[in-house]
């Protein structure tokens, strides 16, 4: 069976939903959601991703703030930045742009982000909740895959699904989400 997915159409519908929710936040609470992104070092792919993400965020009414640091920054210094962002009431979400330099511990840095401000659902706390079947904050790309499958009315229960990726950002969370829907998942 072949399915043709109109990703733009689905994305536009999701953007309309989000935009309306943000307008509600603004009118009810005077709140404009703001995401802080921590960027360490120079990475061309990351820059392209950030540009596209910022454009999409802006279209729905989300503000973006970038915090850029040289590749050689210490873990202690980044932890300090994360702690400050955690306590900043004007910052509603925090994202640690990956990849990060090898001398830094991804686990330590993600662990430091307040789970309520974890935009990507990658803190150990939020991933643990996902493993337990509590889908509170879900990593973005796996959530997008689920939204597309729902939109296409694909029945997941009992379906044999292969995921070709086992990264912390996409493959592992997607596999867990599919398992939570009683799919039979093979990870490659």
pLDDT for the residue 43: 87
pLDDT for the residue 5: 84
pLDDT for the residue 179: 97
pLDDT for the residue 2: 73
Structural domain spans, the chain: 17-119, 121-188
The token pair at 48 is 């392209």
Give, for 24, the enclosing helix (H) or strand (E). Answer: helix 7-29
Check whether domain 17-119 has CATH 3.40.50.10860, yes or no: yes
Q: Which residues of the chain have pLDDT under 50?
A: none
- Matching residue, tokens 């879900």: 138
Nearby residues of 171 by Cβ (< 8 Å), 6 or more positions away: 163, 164, 165, 187
Positive or negative, the Cα torsion across 113, 185, 134, 50? positive
17-119 and 121-188 in the same fold: yes
pLDDT for the residue 1: 61
CATH topology of domain 121-188: Rossmann fold (3.40.50)
Q: pLDDT per residue over 173-184, tens digit each?
A: 999 999 999 999
């Amino acid at each position: 069976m072949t399915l043709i997915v109109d990703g733009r159409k689905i994305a536009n519908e999701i953007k309309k939903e989000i935009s309306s929710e943000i307008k509600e936040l603004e009118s009810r609470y005077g709140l404009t959601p703001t995401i802080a992104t921590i960027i360490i070092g120079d990475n061309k792919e990351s820059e392209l991703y950030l540009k596209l993400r910022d454009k999409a965020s802006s279209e729905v009414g989300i503000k973006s703030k970038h915090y850029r640091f040289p590749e050689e920054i210490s873990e202690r210094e980044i932890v300090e930045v994360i702690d400050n962002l955690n306590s900043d009431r004007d910052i509603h979400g925090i994202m640690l742009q990956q990849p990060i330099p090898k001398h830094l511990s991804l686990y330590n840095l993600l662990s430091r982000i307040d789970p309520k401000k974890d935009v990507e659902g990658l803190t150990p706390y939020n991933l643990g909740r996902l493993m337990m079947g509590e889908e509170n904050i879900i990593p973005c790309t796996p959530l997008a895959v689920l939204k597309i499958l729902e939109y296409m009315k694909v029945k997941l229960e009992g379906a044999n699904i292969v995921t070709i990726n086992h990264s912390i950002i996409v493959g592992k969370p997607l596999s867990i989400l599919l398992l939570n829907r009683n799919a039979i998942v093979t990870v490659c």
